[in-house]
Structure 1
């Protein structure tokens, strides 16, 4: 008989800290993500806790040759930088701590799982994982995105974030280029990592 597989990261499970311990909480977090389109090729994201406190901001181009996203804290301090590498069928991103481009500051890389798919799916490899060509060795896997109204991140068989993405849609907000949605992050999971993955998956869809 096959062993029962764990399906969701829970209280008491090991902490998943990739960007920083300060982004991990011992309880589930429901984050409000606000996305605003500023121009044809530029938009930004703001992330709030349930009390309405600003936690993170993500700025940058939605697409382009030098595609880059920068995540900052409420004071404007750069937490990480996401850079898309080239224009290929299978998108690849490199994520560094702060504003760095140096190899020693690499946090993780993100590779699109399939070149053509109805749902965007990516594999995530931590900096110390060198076997990036073998999708079976990825550290995390994410799929879905904003337009799919679904977003999930897994570590092996365990769901660690993204029970669902629920749009709060009005015609007024749509005409202004504003969209809001919620993401649930499980206990002990780095929410900065989860938000970075959501943004990159969303950009890959676009």
Structure 2
């Protein structure tokens, strides 16, 4: 049975904050610009061109650090990744603090270190020690496009608009469809993590 795109009574997905959920489907454009070898900037716009989120950061001490900010530059979420492991594990912390797991909102890691198909699991703060993930991502290694699920419920779709010209210029673009009452800041954070994992 196919799950409808929008159904009344479906519980909201609120991870970063309720103010990042909308009662209707939301289309986003995410632009990535490579500033230097170890740093890339992301900007998130709605279809009318309004800046909604921005992401900065780079590689420090063999760890990736990305900070998700609001349009005014205020930090919302900090993403830290250890990519020099088979599992490519990431943690997301509120604001710019990363002092242990006390304020960690979620962790992201591959379902298996050796994969034929892209399978990523997301565990919320109260579920770090359990085996069943709260969310999962599926996609192909031949593409940066992917889908995000809560169980069997599709909550977001990300399409990577790749062209050789844009890649050579250090500029890439994603189109993101976020389903109603789904935290789009959470989806953007997942996009940044997967982009980092897939970038050599």
TM-score (norm 1): 0.87
| CA–CA distance in structure 2, aligned partners of residues 187 and 176 of structure 1 | 34
| Mapping of residues 188-203 of structure 1, within 5 Å | 188-203=181-196
Q: Greater strand percent: which structure?
A: 2
Q: 1:169 aligns with which of 163, 175, 178?
A: 163
Q: Cα RMSD between the aligned structures?
A: 2.3
Q: Does 1:184 align with 2:174?
A: no
Q: Does 1:152 align with 2:150?
A: no
TM-score (norm 2): 0.89
The number of aligned residues is: 198
Q: Structure 1 unaligned runs (5+)?
A: none
Distance change >3 Å, CA 199–CA 118, structure 1 → 2: farther
Distance change >3 Å, CA 185–CA 149, structure 1 → 2: same
DSSP-derived class of the 1:27 partner: coil
Q: Structure 2 unaligned runs (5+)?
A: none
Distance change >3 Å, CA 151–CA 11, structure 1 → 2: farther
Distance change >3 Å, CA 166–CA 130, structure 1 → 2: closer
| Mapping of residues 1-206 of structure 1, within 5 Å | 4=1, 6=3, 8=5, 10-61=7-58, 65-85=62-82, 87-102=84-99, 103-132=101-130, 134=131, 137-144=132-139, 148-162=143-157, 164-167=158-161, 169=163, 171=165, 173-206=166-199
Q: Cα deviations across residues 44-77 of structure 1 (Å, max 9, x unaligned)?
A: 1110011100001111226870211110011010
Q: Is the 8 A contact 1:81 1:99 kept in 2?
A: yes
| CA–CA distance in structure 2, aligned partners of residues 36 and 146 of structure 1 | 22
Q: Cα deviations across residues 103-153 of structure 1 (Å, max 9, x unaligned)?
A: 331100111112122443210000011324x2xx10000133896142100
